[in-house]
Structure 1
Amino acid sequence: MPPAKTDQLDLWAESGLDGDVQVMVDFLLPTGIYIQMEVPRESTIQHIKLLLWKEAQTYPLFSLLGEMEGHMFECVNQAAVHEELEDETRRLCDVRPFLPVLKLITRNCGRAERILDSKIGVLIGKGLHELDALQDQQVKDFRSKMKRISEEKMQRMQLMSCGEWLRSCYSTQLGTGSLENLIDKHEGDTASLKVSLHCTVTELMDQALKKWQTTHGPEEDIGTRSDYVLRVSGRFEFLFEDHPLNQCKYIRDCLLANESPHLTLVHCDVVKAMFEKEISTIGSVLARKTSNPPLPLPPKKRPPTVSTLSVFPALQLIKGVPSFVHLAVRAGLFHGTELLCKTAVSSESSSRSEHVWNKTLEFDIAVCDLPRMARLCFAIYAVMDKVKKQRSTKNTHLNKYQTIPWVNTMVFDYRGQLKTGDIILHCWSSFPDELEEMLNPIGTIQTNPYTENATELHISFPEYSTQPVVFPAFDKFLSSVEHKECVLKNVENQTVLKEIMERDPLSQLCENEKDLIWTLRYDCRENFPQSLPKLLLSVKWSKHEDMAQLQALLQIWPKLSPRDALELLDFNYPDQYVREFAVICLRDMSDDELLQYLLQLVQVLRYEPYYDCALSRFLLERAQSSRKIGHFLFWHLRSEMYMPAVSVHFALILEAYCRGCIPHIEVLKKQVEALNKLKAVSELIKLGTIKTKTKQAHLKEAMMTCLRQTGFIETLSDLQSPLNPNILLAGVHVERCKYMDSKMKPLWIVYNNKLLGGDTVGIIFKNGDDLRQDMLTLQILRLMDLLWKEANLDLRIVPYGCLATGDHSGLIEVVSSADTIANIQKTSSNMAAAAAFNKDALLNWLKDKNSGDALDKAIEEFTLSCAGYCVATYVLGIGDRHSDNIMVRSTGQLFHIDFGHILGNFKSKFGIKRERVPFILTHDFIHVIQQGKTGNTEKFGNFRQYCEEAYLILRKNGNLFITLFALMLTAGLPELTSVKDIQYLKDSLALGKTDEEALKQFRQKFDEALRESWTTKVNWMAHIVAHPS
């Protein structure tokens, strides 16, 4: 899609500094009349249509227009696509037409459904008419099926009671109504209660009502406990179940932060009104009839005459290829990353435009041995002409071969039919360097949608018979299995098998080891059920007998834990039934556990070759049953809609989610609109800084003027935070907002939630930075924190919120009452160069913030959190650790921010690494840990013990960390592009070594960090001098 013209930014964004801007718009009427008139930039489409209607009365042919409600506007949007503006509540400045031209068109019937389609299209970032236009039967079948499932979901929702709706759909949050509806009539009354930590939610409510009755007198009828629910003040978070208070996460977090919990009694009538409002929004959906499902294909037997697979390639239109280059095609059949047979290579062809080989590529594999998920991978490469070979010796490995495009396609279509006939594949130009055979089996099977500039590869699959060749049904496939157990057991084999099964996921298996695993597969099932991934790697996927044996064994395989089952979703395991088995195991996950791994589960959708798969259905099912899961599923999908390889797949899932959770659309729409406003402000700041050289104070005033506009105030107020849907963002505290003085000029936005009983909330909006790597790192930190707590070790980690929301844009949570090490050091010294070497600065800062027992508590918090981050940053190889990337809260918690360099990718200058230490442990940190006493070896010994214990806990879960990073390999993160990058984790966790050997390695790293800490101080000094403000 062509990008929007940059000069249009002035029309919809820069003029936003004045709230009363008039925009000259050209209106094209269906009568052929052209009207040009000024309209308010902040007006809604409905109001603009009313203004046009009044003006049109003075023009000829007005009587032919008919009723105003029978018309709507159409425009060309920023994606250069025609968009019908069905939703007339949107503002013109939010619609942002490519040019200020609106065409009035006649509205078709089915308005309610068209409005819904329009809202969904705007919300997901891809118009549904684009999906309608796709000539793809798989897309049509998937959408039809999801519509039926959505209707069934809505019907079940109508049968729910209010209590069931609150618990199942909203979990611990309430999300669709306006904020004022959540404020109870008595909510202004406050009371303080002192209760035991073992007090239950029910007992707390009884005590609160009793005190309320005492305060207001017996004459006021306040009802009973059953008339109320308990809500966390300022949040969409409820305490439902009758658990002790010390088991509630919110209560625990408050106590650990030395804060008093704030709760609100909300009358059930308020919740019931919210429930009834949600139910009323789905009536139009149930009235809609979906098309009948496609008839299933009858099972076909494979004709016995089919022997080998062959394709006939031809190539068209490769641009920019020099005349001395000859082209060739290499093709390979893969199952996951396993090559099923020898690759096939075409002859060389030379031409300036079209290349035709007229050669059939045959593969040495019988069609009956093709696995269901076999994929055909192509790479087109240039062979440099020997006569005209370049003289340069640089890049000699490219002198002979030079890869140009690649593309993949499935051998069977989504219905299980073996592909036949002519197919045009539009190739991709990007290419990982380390791939063998010049093929990219883990790449997408989607063809490049940007067809104008893509290389076209024309291939022809042979017609095998008059009837389609269909992969056998599951029961037929299993019927060929001979039920026999292999009994080649002996002590030596058992010992070898045990050693193999204890290896990490990155360890390669040799052919002898694979044969042993396959021979002892029933042993694996009985004694090593978690070893299923290694067994799958040992299957010969080019033999249908082995595939059938595996499927039979899978039917009796014990269910894995959800954490172990995650590995089965890797690209190495594409088999449909294996992935279905993995999803069955994932169903045991709680909502909180699913949220912990949702980032990876969304990314592995890239490995699914067909839209309708077990993983897609599972994610949709859980998202439509938990509003919080739905919230994050929406944003993880929508944030990558700009990527052409996944845009259709993700759009289909987003559409299905929206149709199955229609009440959530308005909530999410509000968030999308708010982010668009913040992006407009961000662009204004960048333009003002770069073009006009506006002074900082004037630019900040311009930003505040923009935020005070009516359109901005309405859009940015009363919404759920995209970072955490439990958090309510009531209104922007404009005077406290600013932009930060870094390259991308992030916005610092402060919300005032006091009217809702909450504290101020700060968020940072980044426009121009890819936050996905930060998001992954923080997710892993959150998991580390969970694993440590499961082992009764709370290291006070601060995994603040971070969410990518689009192409190089996203949000970061502001951690309250925190400052950077650099700022703390600079405020304690008059000289920037000396600030980094003041070891008393940090301890004195904590003393200023705390006294007495609070200081002891703060030092303990610092000690625990410092230990946690020392281990975490070492294990993850987090680099660029300067004093502005490490912060401390006033309560003592230390935490790291900005994770642009991970997995040992440390910064270097002139070939010399800036960071020489495995993790940051400076003498001023030790000074705090030892409470300012040099000889306090007991405190430092405790700190060292925390580090070692934390490290050993992570080692026990090393396979999980490797799996989670492996599942992110195709996400396109800058420092996670190949398995070699993940090797860093294996080395840092010393996987493959004993605990004693690993601990010895860690202790050496610990001593090294202490010994070389002076280099950290030198780096910090240089940083402070270079960044004095």
Structure 2
Amino acid sequence: MPPGVCYGMQDVWEKGGREQVTLEFLLPTGIYLSFPVARNDTIGTIKKMVWKNARSEPLFSVLSDPDAYVFTCINLTAEREELEDESRRLCDVRPFMPVLRLVAREGDRVEKLINTQISLLIGKGLHEFDTQKNHEVNEFRAKMRSFCEENAQDRQRLPWHQWMKCNFPCDLEPFSMVVQSGKSCSVKKLLVNVKFEASEVSHRMLCTHLVSHNTPLINEEIHNLDIQEKPENYTLQLPVCLPKARWEVEGGRWVWVVWGGLCEIIGKRLVVQAGLFHGGELLCKVVTSSEVSVCSDPVWDQKLVFDINLCDLPRMSRLCFTLYGVLEKTKKQRSTKKKNKKADCPLAWVNTMVFDYKDQLKTGEFLLSTWPSAPGDLLNPMGTVERNPNIDSTAGLLIRFPSFRPHPLYYPPLEKVNRTASAINTPRPTNLNSHLKLKEIVDNKNHTEFFEHEKELLWKLRLDVRAHYPESLSKLLLITKWNKHEDVAQMVCLLRTWRDLPPLHALELLDYTFPDPHVRSFTIRCLKKLGDEELFQYLLQLVQVLKYESYLDCDLTTFLLERALSNKKIGHFLFWHLRSEMHVASVSLRFGLILEAYCRGSIYHIKSLMKQIEALNKMKALNDFVKSGSQKSASRLQITEDMKLCIKQDTYMEALSDVISPLSPSIVLSEIWYDRCKFMDSKMKPLWLMYKNKWDHLDTVGIIFKNGDDLRQDMLTLQMIQLMDVLWKTEGLDLRMVPYGCLSTGNKTGLIEVVKNADTIANIQRNSSNNAATAAFNKDALLNWLKSKNPEDKLDQAIEEFTLSCAGYCVATYVLGIGDRHSDNIMIRENGQLFHIDFGHFLGNFKAKFGINRERVPFILTYDFVHVIQQGRTNNSEKFERFRECCEQAYKILCRNGTLFVNLFALMRAAGLPELSCSKDIQYLKDSLALGRSEEEALKNFKVKFNEALRESWKTKVNWMMHTVAKDNR
């Protein structure tokens, strides 16, 4: 140290000779900063300045929140001092040297900070998990925390180059380019391998685990269900139903109050119905209680007996209840011979498992808070087994599980099941006709319902199915008698030696129809073969089928967390897929626990996600501001100017800038360009937000923020279009599709990627005509627009792009049954690519007006499209025939992969989309993909649809004209 340095610093603090002092800062990432600060600045102010300067430095993203760190210095007494009180001024601190070191805080404060951040991220306080006082929740949290933190520690022990690759994958990190003398070159920065003190402290602090409640009681004897014992019927008691003041008298009639709504009880009686299910299969006859009078506290005191032996209960048996009001019988009804249905007014339903998460048969009393029924719904085996957390606005059903023994009963372990299976002889028919019939059954892709003789044949030849048709495992599982323990034991034993299925075939087994834990474990074993990109392609479905899991701890959860922690892209989208449904009461507990586990195992990701949450909150506030202005009938120009002024505020600029795009973690939304931001005309006033490109200021990145529309159906449709594009390209067919980004981020909120240099067909047609009524019939409008955007040497390529993309979207919209196709939701890019937007109706759920179906054609193929494809020449049939061939080739490729699409849509039934809720919706897809038909039959049917679309295209033009006129008259 040069002589006189300490005396010089002391003179600064005591005499205040200078207003500013140049300080040196040492960051925990090993980065060194130096800049001047005012001697009267507080430590808190200086920390903010450090963070601002560190943003442009390497490794900034590995830093945690500023509150996780504290400055240290050497004070005038030559001691190391932690500057906890950040309100102190620098001149009061009086460091011995102008050096401040930033270190991670130690102790409980770090833990509390991380807990607070996780609570903000998942939108649910972690204390809510503690207040559950639920052993299953506590054990799951402890296990997942241990698993995720060990995973994080394993990453910390990686060699530095592997650590960098894991935490900063090249495909996700922004790639900067600069232009020098007309040539682009990458900007390279030197990174130094350093000790990450902050990360080590964070992980050290997170090593404290919750106490597990899974320890068996001392001297507790475990008794398994003895499958050789004397059969007993399974029973439970229904001592009382407690609707908890959910009834009111209105006009002399009892009224059922559900979540603020009213449902009139027709008649004077209430009934409870109960069924035992395994997946969607009813294990025995439904049991119905006696009828009781409607009152504020109805009571049933009776025993419900199910016609199934106790030893035959499968492991995943679930009890499903429904409460309904009985219709009063009229004289006409009494005279009919048909039995009257007793479920005319369903009120509530609830499900519960027969065995608990520890394999123990439930005993004792349980109060089940119910869920409100939709009209026409009765027993709901596909529904959740979680109890309704809104206990103040729902009925509570009190049931009592009887004790069959003086000691607890557990489901038999695998060893005992295998012994049972080995004791049963398996006949092996050798009849040639039987084997031919078996081949016919397994070859039929659309064959999911079987006659009794087919079931018998499949079961008798189950060893042959395993040996020769392993991909037909789902068919064998469907015909297994899950209410016979002998058959269950044989199926479980058979599964142990079943060879792994291709992952895309195994996806089908995640449906709620296949709840057996051995089946689901087998499925996850197959899915582990998926590469990261393939897994990402199906992540949306994998998150949804978590809703079918009966217990918190399951193989699917562990699998998703493991892959999310090892791949930043998967982790990013797993977070958003879970976070977007935290408002759904039936899954908020499960999804919240998984989110907590992910955050604890990925501490480095917390800061980026919090920034995204903050940006989305500002977007919502901005959207509310715009809607408020619109309701006050302010002019569009005035609202737009006020919106821009709002964005220019420091709090908005800071929150909306330098944020990782939730749509893609490889895109940084650097600086919001408020002058180019606007809002759109539709009812919910979506925000159109533009950002400057950090590396090219002439370029922009655009996103649309929607608040009030459910984007999940758009997400699913775009996922399917993306999958189609992958399948086509795999077969050498590039149809220039534009599956733009779309992400649901919360309850009816989300983001959509802006496709640059594109316009709607409606705008192009309107701008080429003075009359809105005739604009839709101007066949030259599209071609002329393409000519204006593409000089002569580029026009042929633009028409080629149009031809290929038009073929792709014709096939895609037909197969998916996309409806509401008007000229404002079909767009064209300046390079010629056509693409569709706004997928509010699919699977044949088409719009109707005044009882008339507005969708008159299988897909959109108008004469102005044909005019572009034929390059403006009516006799150019060669170009059109090539277009037709592209459509047919694309359709055949999708038909070959039809089962995959059907399975993916079936798994999405758990999402609760209004247009994907029953087998009828799935049947539309089976029909459009011609499942069960030969390729020749499928192609013949498609040719008929193609000709129909072309012949009836004038009806589309009429619809477009009506849409344009209606829009102009708004």
**Aligned equivalent of 2:188:** 266
Deviation at 1:323, TM superposition (A): 8.7
Does structure 2 conserve the Cα–Cα contact (< 8 Å) formed by 1:282 and 1:663? no
Structure 2 CA distance for partners of 1:648 and 1:703, relative to 1, 3 Å: same
**Aligned equivalent of 2:782:** 842
**Aligned equivalent of 1:291:** 211
Does structure 2 conserve the Cα–Cα contact (< 8 Å) formed by 1:530 and 1:564? yes
Q: 2:155 aligns with which of 154, 157, 172?
A: 157
**Aligned equivalent of 1:368:** 311
Q: Structure 1 CA distance, aligned partners of 2:814 and 2:573?
A: 29
Q: Which residue identity does 2:815 align to in structure 1?
A: V
| Cα RMSD (Å) | 2.8
- 1:979 and 2:905 are equivalent in the alignment: no
Deviation at 1:354, TM superposition (A): 1.8
Q: Structure 2 CA distance, aligned partners of 1:784 and 1:277?
A: 47
SS in 2 for 1:967: helix
**Aligned-residue identity in percent:** 54
Q: Which residue identity does 2:567 align to in structure 1?
A: S
**Aligned equivalent of 1:171:** 169
**Aligned equivalent of 2:627:** 686
- 1:301 and 2:247 are equivalent in the alignment: no
Q: Which residue identity does 1:267 align to in structure 2?
A: K
Consecutive unaligned residues of structure 2, counting only runs of 5 or more, are 1-41, 49-66, 69-83, 88-105, 248-254, 257-264
**Aligned equivalent of 2:454:** 513
Residues 427-449 of structure 1, C-alpha deviations (whole Å, 9 max, x = no match): 1113363x6xx311111111111
Q: 2:685 aligns with which of 727, 745, 754?
A: 745
Q: Structure 1 CA distance, aligned partners of 2:343 and 2:394?
A: 23
Deviation at 1:173, TM superposition (A): 4.2
Structure 2 CA distance for partners of 1:879 and 1:453, relative to 1, 3 Å: same
Deviation at 1:754, TM superposition (A): 3.6
**Aligned equivalent of 1:315:** 241
Q: 2:593 aligns with which of 652, 659, 663?
A: 652
- 1:119 and 2:117 are equivalent in the alignment: yes
Does structure 2 conserve the Cα–Cα contact (< 8 Å) formed by 1:155 and 1:286? no
Structure 2 CA distance for partners of 1:694 and 1:371, relative to 1, 3 Å: same
Deviation at 1:465, TM superposition (A): 2.2
SS in 2 for 1:355: coil
Q: Which residue identity does 2:692 align to in structure 1?
A: N
Does structure 2 conserve the Cα–Cα contact (< 8 Å) formed by 1:600 and 1:968? yes
Does structure 2 conserve the Cα–Cα contact (< 8 Å) formed by 1:154 and 1:286? no
Residues 82-481 of structure 1 correspond to what in structure 2 (within 5 A)?
Answer: 110-173=108-171, 190=180, 264-269=186-191, 272=193, 276=196, 279-280=199-200, 282-286=202-206, 288-291=208-211, 294-295=214-215, 299-302=222-225, 304=229, 307-313=232-238, 314-317=240-243, 318-319=246-247, 320-321=255-256, 322=265, 324-386=267-329, 401-431=344-374, 433=376, 438-481=378-421
Does structure 2 conserve the Cα–Cα contact (< 8 Å) formed by 1:905 and 1:975? yes
**Aligned equivalent of 2:92:** none
**Aligned equivalent of 1:62:** none
- 1:852 and 2:783 are equivalent in the alignment: no
Deviation at 1:529, TM superposition (A): 0.9
Residues 455-507 of structure 1, C-alpha deviations (whole Å, 9 max, x = no match): 11100000122321111122222122127543113322222212211233573
Deviation at 1:555, TM superposition (A): 1.1
Consecutive unaligned residues of structure 1, counting only runs of 5 or more, are 1-43, 51-68, 71-85, 90-107, 194-261
Q: Which residue identity does 2:831 align to in structure 1?
A: T
SS in 1 for 2:407: coil
Deviation at 1:379, TM superposition (A): 1.0
Q: 2:703 aligns with which of 763, 782, 791?
A: 763
Q: Which residue identity does 2:508 align to in structure 1?
A: E
Deviation at 1:341, TM superposition (A): 0.9
Deviation at 1:767, TM superposition (A): 0.3
Q: 1:606 aligns with which of 527, 532, 547?
A: 547
SS in 1 for 2:293: coil
Structure 2 CA distance for partners of 1:400 and 1:877, relative to 1, 3 Å: closer
Structure 2 CA distance for partners of 1:501 and 1:429, relative to 1, 3 Å: same
**Aligned equivalent of 1:538:** 479
Structure 2 CA distance for partners of 1:286 and 1:130, relative to 1, 3 Å: closer
Q: Which residue identity does 2:809 align to in structure 1?
A: Y
Deviation at 1:886, TM superposition (A): 0.3
Q: Structure 1 CA distance, aligned partners of 2:550 and 2:189?
A: 49
Residues 710-765 of structure 1, C-alpha deviations (whole Å, 9 max, x = no match): 11111111111000101111010100000001100000000101446893110000
Q: Structure 2 CA distance, aligned partners of 1:192 and 1:609?
A: 61
Structure 2 CA distance for partners of 1:174 and 1:874, relative to 1, 3 Å: closer
Q: Structure 2 CA distance, aligned partners of 1:677 and 1:400?
A: 47
**Aligned equivalent of 2:886:** 946
Structure 2 CA distance for partners of 1:534 and 1:526, relative to 1, 3 Å: same
**Aligned equivalent of 2:429:** 488
Does structure 2 conserve the Cα–Cα contact (< 8 Å) formed by 1:868 and 1:947? yes
Deviation at 1:163, TM superposition (A): 2.0
Greater Cα offset, 985-994 or 678-687? 985-994
Deviation at 1:168, TM superposition (A): 3.2
Q: Structure 2 CA distance, aligned partners of 1:1024 and 1:189?
A: 45
Does structure 2 conserve the Cα–Cα contact (< 8 Å) formed by 1:373 and 1:411? yes
**Aligned equivalent of 2:819:** 879
SS in 2 for 1:784: helix
Residues 764-843 of structure 1 correspond to what in structure 2 (within 5 A)?
Answer: 764-843=704-783
SS in 2 for 1:419: coil
Q: Structure 1 CA distance, aligned partners of 2:864 and 2:936?
A: 30
Q: Structure 2 CA distance, aligned partners of 1:397 and 1:998?
A: 44
**Aligned equivalent of 2:673:** 733
**Aligned equivalent of 1:595:** 536
Deviation at 1:546, TM superposition (A): 0.9
Structure 2 CA distance for partners of 1:804 and 1:358, relative to 1, 3 Å: same
**Aligned equivalent of 1:896:** 836
Does structure 2 conserve the Cα–Cα contact (< 8 Å) formed by 1:112 and 1:284? no
Q: Structure 2 CA distance, aligned partners of 1:632 and 1:309?
A: 44
**Aligned equivalent of 1:33:** none
Q: Which residue identity does 1:709 align to in structure 2?
A: Q
Does structure 1 conserve the Cα–Cα contact (< 8 Å) formed by 2:138 and 2:213? no
- 1:717 and 2:657 are equivalent in the alignment: yes
Q: Structure 2 CA distance, aligned partners of 1:448 and 1:329?
A: 18
Q: Which residue identity does 1:162 align to in structure 2?
A: W
Does structure 2 conserve the Cα–Cα contact (< 8 Å) formed by 1:518 and 1:539? yes
SS in 1 for 2:371: coil
Q: Which residue identity does 1:728 align to in structure 2?
A: V
Deviation at 1:167, TM superposition (A): 2.8
Q: 1:547 aligns with which of 488, 492, 508?
A: 488
Deviation at 1:279, TM superposition (A): 3.5
Structure 2 CA distance for partners of 1:890 and 1:1026, relative to 1, 3 Å: same
Q: 2:556 aligns with which of 615, 631, 646?
A: 615
Does structure 2 conserve the Cα–Cα contact (< 8 Å) formed by 1:169 and 1:624? no
Does structure 2 conserve the Cα–Cα contact (< 8 Å) formed by 1:505 and 1:962? no
Q: Structure 2 CA distance, aligned partners of 1:400 and 1:633?
A: 40
Does structure 1 conserve the Cα–Cα contact (< 8 Å) formed by 2:222 and 2:408? no
Deviation at 1:155, TM superposition (A): 1.6
Deviation at 1:607, TM superposition (A): 0.3
Deviation at 1:827, TM superposition (A): 1.2
SS in 2 for 1:668: helix
